[in-house]
Amino acid sequence: MPDSPPPAPRTLECDPLTWNDIFTTTIDTVPVECIRPIDTDCPSWAIYPPGCYRPDDYLGALHARDTDGLWHVQTTGERHATFADAVRTLRRPPTWSHERDRAIAWARGLLHDPDLMVIDIQTTGLREPFAAQISAMNADGELVLDELLNPQADFEPEASALHGLTRQSTQHAATFSNLLSTLTEIFHGRHLVAYNIAFDRDVLARELARHHHDPAPADAWLSACRWDDAILPISTWTGLWSAQHRAYRYTRLGSRYESAANCRLLFHRLQVLAHSATHHR
């Protein structure tokens, strides 16, 4: 093997057909060496740690396919949009299959829980925001709540640019206080699940403290619900390992910045996990 492989492509976004036969690139601050097999001119590379070519060092093979524009991971049959994500699948720790199975079991348990409530809240921004839209979906996939709210606060321009809500467009909507009895009926005693549940819970806590002028009743109200975050199980199931952080990368759901649509996205992802085959019995 050469001591100094040719440099990586100028960008991993360029056409793989123009890439060198051998190059080193860095994914999540950790380099990998990519070597095209000698028996092909196709955009395929075997992946190794730089300078390490023993059989135990081999991470796997990646193939760029013209037909779907995705990177194919030979060992798992997976397809990923970027070369970097494909490499991340090859770096999964040996414990991943067990962790994935636990994520699948978690999703199956949720979907069999009659108290499940998938929620999403759109807000006035990120800095101490108030609620502008709240939706909730039950264990049957039925949307049981979809409300626009008057947050009685200004919107951050960046937030309005994403979800399209403004002070003017929400001025005639119900306030959180108007909706509180409905929220209590729907949420109390339920198992609330969201993508980054801490954010949604903080928004509700802020709204409740404003309504009661006291954080104590807010804490009591929140304690009547169970809270569960879907980020870690879904990111673990996806299995894009960051060698830099030694953790699974956050998996994006493809947010529509509309609360009902986000509930549907998360519910569908839970179904995908629940219907996945496990590796261990």
- Tell me: the pLDDT tens digits for 29-51? 999 999 999 998 899 999 999 99
What residue ranges do the domains of the chain occupy? 16-90, 97-274
The pLDDT-based confidence of 281 (bands split at 50, 70, 90) is very low
Type and span of the H or E element at 263? helix 259-274
CB within 8 Å of 6: residues ≥ 6 apart: 20, 21, 22, 23
pLDDT at 4: 55
- Fold (topology level) of 97-274: Nucleotidyltransferase; domain 5 (3.30.420)
Q: What is the dihedral of CA 209, 212, 155, 143, to 10 degrees?
A: 90
Are the C-beta atoms of residues 250 and 231 closer than 8 Å to each other? yes
Worst-scoring range by mean pLDDT, 1-10, 111-120, 192-201, 270-279?
A: 1-10
> Closest Cα to residue 176, out of 130, 138, 136, 214?
130
Are the C-beta atoms of residues 149 and 123 closer than 8 Å to each other? no
Q: Note the pLDDT tens digit of each residue in 97-122.
A: 999 999 999 999 999 999 999 999 99
First to last CA, the chain: 42
Token pair, residue 56, equals 């135990």
Give the integer Cα–Cα distance in Å for 20 and 18.
7
> Closest Cα to residue 200, out of 265, 132, 248?
132
Inform me whether the pLDDT recorded for 255 exceeds 60.
Answer: yes
